[in-house]
Structures are given as C-alpha cells and as structure tokens.
Amino acid sequence: MDTSVFTNSDWAAWFANESKKDYFSTLSVLVDNERKRYNIFPKEEDVFTAFRLCGFHQTKVVIIGQDPYHGQGQAHGLSFSVRSGVRLPPSLQNIFKEIASDLNIPVSSCGDLSSWAKQGVMLLNSILTVRENSPASHKNIGWNYFTDSAIRYLSYYKEHLVFILWGAFAQSKRSFIDTSKHCIIASAHPSPLSAYQGFFSSRPFSRTNEYLRQNNIAEIDWSLPNSR
C-alpha cells in the first residue's frame, strides 16, 4: 500500500507506531494481493485521503462510515463522499436533504465532500478498501484495527470533538470515545432503508456547530461549492 501520505503529516507519530504492529503488515500484503486479482476501490493513492485532507491537529468532527462505495468511479477515500460529477448515492442524497432542512442550504448536486475534510471533518470509513460490486468484502481483513486505533487516538489526545455516528455500525464505535470530553451525535443511518426512522430531522449539522461554538471552535461551513 502507498502510505506516503503519512510522511511529514501530523499523523506520522501515530502511524509509525501502528505500522509496526503485526496486523498491519498482514493487512498490507492482503490488500496488495487483492489488487492483483480484483478491481479494488478506492485507488491505491486515495486509500488514506481522509488522513491526508484532515490533519490530526485540525480535526474537529469525525463522521464514521462503514466501507467505501463499491461502484466504478465512486470511492475516493472519504466516507459518504463521491468525486464531483459522479451521481449521488442515495445515502448522500439524504444527507444533503437533511442539510437543507437543518441549515436552509440548497441541496447540492456535487458529492465531493473534500471541502468539509479541509475544514477539519474527518470522513473516516472503518474499512478503507472494497472489491468492485462486493460490499463489505474487506470487512474482516484488519482495517478495523487501524481505524479503531485512529478513533481512540483522537479521543485520547484531543478535546471537544464531535463524533457523528449514523446507524448501528458507527454507533458500535462509541466505546472508543471518551464522552466526558467529546460530543456524540447519534441517529439512524441516512440510507433509504432507515432515514425516516430517526435520521431526518435529527439536525446533526446545526448541533455540531452549536457544540463547536460553545467551545470557542470555528464552525463548519456545510455548504458545498455549487450550493452557495
């Protein structure tokens, strides 16, 4: 795997320790071998985009997803995000609907959430790779050790983060978060199967900004380029 993103990054100390663990070398070999046999998403250079765009010291908000989109051209290393010009997946459409309702921001047709990441929103999938057209195909190869460690590291060394946990899978990470110094905003997942069971009207975006404001932290501009 291409881990050069961590060089000269403020994630470097954490990664240096994590990459020495036995599971990581096994994981690296597994992913490299999978790429020789299958189409694997995202591209190798995009696997760690969440860490590249959102530095450790910069992080204010963490949105946890499960695994990357498994369709051609969709995944680019940020949970829930797709590249500009790619058709919006249903969950992302519902996220934008909730933003519109919550903050009165017009629904965007651009699914690239990089601007959020650059403001300090860590868009972290628990599983960082997937086979084409095979959701959760890399669920049990070791990525959870890597991303769970990142969540623990953020929780331990930072204060006043907002962790947005949509759905049961993301909420299973709650035990890694110190709720005495961080805010958790949890609701149903934005997928069409569950969005009407507690995601819509949950107001995660305004609630996040309210918490940041109360702690004298700059708020997130949740609008996207073509919705301004």
Q: What are the residue numbers of the active site? A: 67
d(CA 99, CA 27): 36
Q: Which long-range contacts (CB under 8 A, 24 or more apart) does 54-57 make?
A: 54/117, 54/118, 54/120, 54/121, 54/122, 54/123, 55/9, 55/10, 55/11, 56/9, 56/10, 56/11, 56/14, 56/153, 56/154, 56/157, 56/158, 57/10
H, E, C per residue of 106-125: CCCCCCCCHHHHHCCEEEEE
Bridge pairing between strands 61-65 and 162-166: parallel
**Cβ(88)–Cβ(96) under 8 Å?**
yes
What whole-number distance in Å separates Cα of residue 188 and Cα of residue 102?
16
What is the Cα–Cα distance from 107 to 104, expressed in whole angstroms?
9
Planar angle of CA 55, 216, 174, nearest 5 degrees: 60
**Phi, psi torsion values for 202, nearest 5 degrees:** -80, -15
